[in-house]
Amino acid sequence: MWTEKYRPKRLDEIAGQAQVVKQIKGFVKERTIPNLLLWGPKGTGKTSLVYALASELYGEFYAENLMLIETSDFVEQRKKWLREDKRFKFFYDEQKSAIDIFKEMIREYTALSPLNAPFKLLFFSNADFLPGNVQQALRRVIERSNKTCRFIFSTTRPAGVIPAIRSRCLNFHFSPLDKSGAMDTLVKSIAEEEGVKLTEGGLKTLKEYARGDAGAAINMLEAAATATRKTIESDRIEEVVQNAFFQRKIAEELIDSAFEGRYKDVRAGLEFLIKDARIGGKEILIEIHEALRRKMTMQESKKFAKLVLYEGEADFDLCNSLNAIIHLEEMLMKMSYLHG
């Protein structure tokens, strides 16, 4: 995949985050870093920066000294995720709860000495998914593990990370790439490298759908380039979006089903997205918001404001929820009553 092929290998290759990179490079020069909280929109380089940082700190031993935990996978799959991940086979105990296994694994990992390095990195992606009691436990582990481990948290919602963790980390904000022009440069360079001509119209449409997410932009470009033609125009991007970014289409179908009172279809759509397509509850919420924004007219601005309030309630409930379907379904039901 092009997202991995063109993932930055060095800090200098991170696009659009010059100030963050400058400060991180200063820490690398001193061979130490503090605990970090990286926050900003999806696809702005947070994960890429962690991998590049680990590569520059550890060289050939970076894989041994960096553990990535995708917290949304853990929260949504619980024991299934722990049972199937070979990293946790020594900690798995069917008699214990998923939370207890997870916390024990973290404690044991942070206590182990790093390999040919003064400390190792424990990276929590989408950290706002972590339940509050797990975050409280992590706060104590952070305090005890400073000699062997550094913690890095990334999130699109910094308010979803408890203040006790935020205050123990150096906070870095990642700006959307389409605001600085970095998205244009990145996409054009990849297109040129792959021998693809991306027209100005194609670039504009791609950016509109990517919404500042570099990963989504690269995926769209790759999908568009699979056609026999090597010139990518706006209509080709539109075609790719309809086929490859199906969650956006389903989000629109969910809203239509709710507004038309087809509640069984709402439930079926949510179950497909979460259980089959494995899309997180918060990601679905973002797609529903964007679909509503496209659907509502200027004359319906007051109604849209009320719908956004329902979104906010669902977003809050999802922070500590074990079942995203319940809260998203409840939100869509409220929206249907308002619309009706």
Q: Where are the beta strands (DSSP E) in the chain?
A: 36-39, 66-70, 120-125, 149-155, 170-173, 197-198, 231-232
Measured distance CA(208)–CA(241) in Å, rounded = 11
Cα 70 from chain centroid (whole Å): 9
Q: In sequence order, which residues have a C-beta less than 8 Å from that of residue 109 and are 6 or more positions away?
A: 67, 122, 149
Look at 186 and 243; give whichever has higher pLDDT: 186
How much is the pLDDT for 100?
79
Cβ atoms < 10 Å from Cβ of 164: 14
Q: Are 194 and 202 in contact (CB under 8 A)?
A: no
Q: How far apart are CA 213 and CA 178, in angstroms?
A: 8
Nearest alpha carbon to residue 215 among 175, 187, 248, 194: 187
What was the pLDDT predicted at 300? 67
Of residues 120 and 129, more confidently modeled: 120
Query: What pLDDT was estimated at residue 229?
Result: 60
Output the CA torsion 49→53→56→61 (10° steps): -120
95 pLDDT higher than 80? no
pLDDT of residue 297: 63
Mean pLDDT, range 40-68, rounded to an integer? 90
CATH of 178-244, one of 1.10.357.20, 3.40.50.1110, 1.20.1050.10, 1.10.8.60: 1.10.8.60
DSSP state of 114: P
Ramachandran bin of 78, using left for φ above 0, alpha for ψ from -120 to 50, beta for the remaining angles = left
pLDDT digits (tens, 9 = 90+) for 195-207: 888 999 998 888 8
pLDDT single digits (tens) 9-30? 899 999 889 999 999 999 999 8
Q: Residue 325: which of 255, 249, 272, 250 has the closest Cα? A: 272
Residue-wise pLDDT for 287-338, tens only, equals: 888 788 777 665 566 777 888 888 888 888 887 667 888 889 999 998 888 7
The percent of residues in the chain predicted with pLDDT above 70, rounded, is 91
**Which two tokens mark 115?**
């390999």
Q: Measure the CA–CA gap between 281 and 142, rounded to whole angstroms.
A: 28
Residue 255, pLDDT above cutoff 60: yes
Q: Which among 118, 30, 12, 109 has a CA at the least distance from the CA of 68? A: 109
Alpha-carbon span 23 to 30, nearest angstrom: 11
Q: Which amino acid is at 285?
A: L
Query: Are the CB atoms for 13 and 190 separated by under 8 Å?
Result: no
pLDDT for the residue 21: 94
Whether the predicted pLDDT of 33 surpasses 80? yes
Kindly report the pTM of this predicted structure.
Answer: 0.72
Q: Determine whether domain 247-339 maps to CATH 3.30.360.10.
A: no
Handedness of CA 193, 197, 203, 205 (dihedral sign): negative
CATH of 2-175, picked from 3.40.30.10, 3.40.50.300, 3.40.50.720, 3.10.450.30, is 3.40.50.300
C-alpha 47/C-alpha 38 separation (Å) is: 9
Query: 219-234 pLDDT, tens per residue?
Result: 888 888 876 567 888 8
* SS3 assignment for 82-121: HHHCHHHCCCCCCCCCHHHHHHHHHHHHHHCCCCCCCCEE
Label residue 3 by pLDDT band (50, 70, 90): confident
Give the pLDDT confidence score for residue 286 in this predicted structure.
Answer: 81
Domain coordinates in residue numbering, the chain: 2-175, 178-244, 247-339
Yes or no: say if 63 and 121 are a contact pair by the CB < 8 Å rule: no
**In sequence order, what are the beta bridge partners of 232?**
198
First to last CA, the chain: 44
pLDDT at res. 61: 87
Question: For the chain, how big is the Rg over CA atoms in Å?
Answer: 21
What pLDDT is attached to residue 158?
87
